[in-house]
Amino acid sequence: MRSRQSARRRSAPAPVEEASPAPAELHDSNPESGGEAESEAEPEAEPQAAEGDYEGEGEHQSLKFNEELSWRPAKPIPSGTLLTRLEKLSKELADFEQGEVDLSSLKDVSAQLAHRNLLQHKDRGVKAYTACCLVDILRLFVPDAPFTDDQLKMMFGLFVKDILPSLQDPTNPYNSQHKYVLMSLTDVKSILLISEIHGADDLLLRLFNSTFDGVSANAKAPAEEQVAKDVEIHLTEMLIQLIDESPGSVPASVIDAIISQFLRAAPPWRWPKQGAKRQTINAPPQDGTSGLCHGQSHL
């Protein structure tokens, strides 16, 4: 909302005060004064023209990045070169505000970013910066992503299988990029696109399971290895969005995964039988053992 209001403020031209006309007697009595008034009024047109130029630039910024990100099968781009280019592109895209960029200037680079050469690259740095660029493309194109269903499926495969699980390792050298992807998917709500991808129920299930497993493991990890609280908060918020705001119904497999978390916290063998709890509390043990052990002997 902030970016759209900013765009509206920039697009509204500032009011320009009209120069008050010179009195009639001055024009009649002194012709030279009219020439001076005209010469003084001329500079006022220059700021107005400059403001118009700035307004146009503010509304329609174009992408300046023009380096290649795709390659032929026999001539791949070296990973180091590719990483440098993606980092440069990521910084430029991150600076763009919604509604202030010429989207047509992003279409060529969007197609290159969605190619399997980058989405399935072996270098984790290439994949991390590719993901950063992609979430910014999704942010700038809201609500219409410029990708096909197959491209979206590959993209979210990268997010779910590589980027988000890597957040469980705070020592990863690309942890900042992984957090950037998570926060953009959650704040922009781009994560909801996964529910619109045909045949992506397995990705959705994997996202829930990997998040549950990561949070559970994090609770048992030493303090220096634990995931930051803001990461856990955004992961939780992401799952809530997928349940509350998805356009379709939540798959049954995902519901089963959610229910299984309650079973993990309190497995059935720990559930007291009807009447057993009252007996354990009220009846003293007859064999001298503790009440807990006595209660367990009846389960």
The predicted-structure confidence for 63-77, as pLDDT tens digits, reads as follows 999 999 999 888 899
- pTM for the complete prediction? 0.69
Instruction: Tell me if residue 69 falls in helix, strand or coil.
Output: coil
Proportion of the chain above pLDDT 70, given as a percent: 68
pLDDT at residue number 109:
97
Q: Which domains does the chain have, with CATH numbers?
A: 75-265 (1.25.10)
Using pLDDT thresholds of 50, 70 and 90, give the confidence band for residue 249: confident
> Any residues with CB less than 8 A from the CB of 101 and at least 6 apart, and which?
60, 61, 62, 63, 140
The predicted model gives 70-99 an average pLDDT of 94
Return d(Cα 261, Cα 209) in angstroms, integer.
10
Q: How many CB atoms lie within 10 A of CB 18?
A: 8
In this prediction, residues 215-233 reach a mean pLDDT of 83
Percent of the chain's residues with pLDDT above 90: 54
For the chain, counts of helices (H) and of strands (E):
15, 0
Using alpha carbons, select from 208, 197, 21, 180 the residue that is nearest to residue 93.
Answer: 180
Read off the pLDDT of residues 174-204 as tens digits, 9 standing for 90 and up: 999 999 999 999 999 999 999 889 888 999 9
Q: Which tokens hold the place of 244?
A: 């509350």
The per-residue pLDDT for 256 is: 93
pLDDT of residue 94: 97
Q: What is the pLDDT of residue 145?
A: 94
Q: Is pLDDT at 105 greater than 90 in this prediction?
A: yes
8-state DSSP, 61: B
CB-CB contact of 232 with 215 (8 Å)? yes
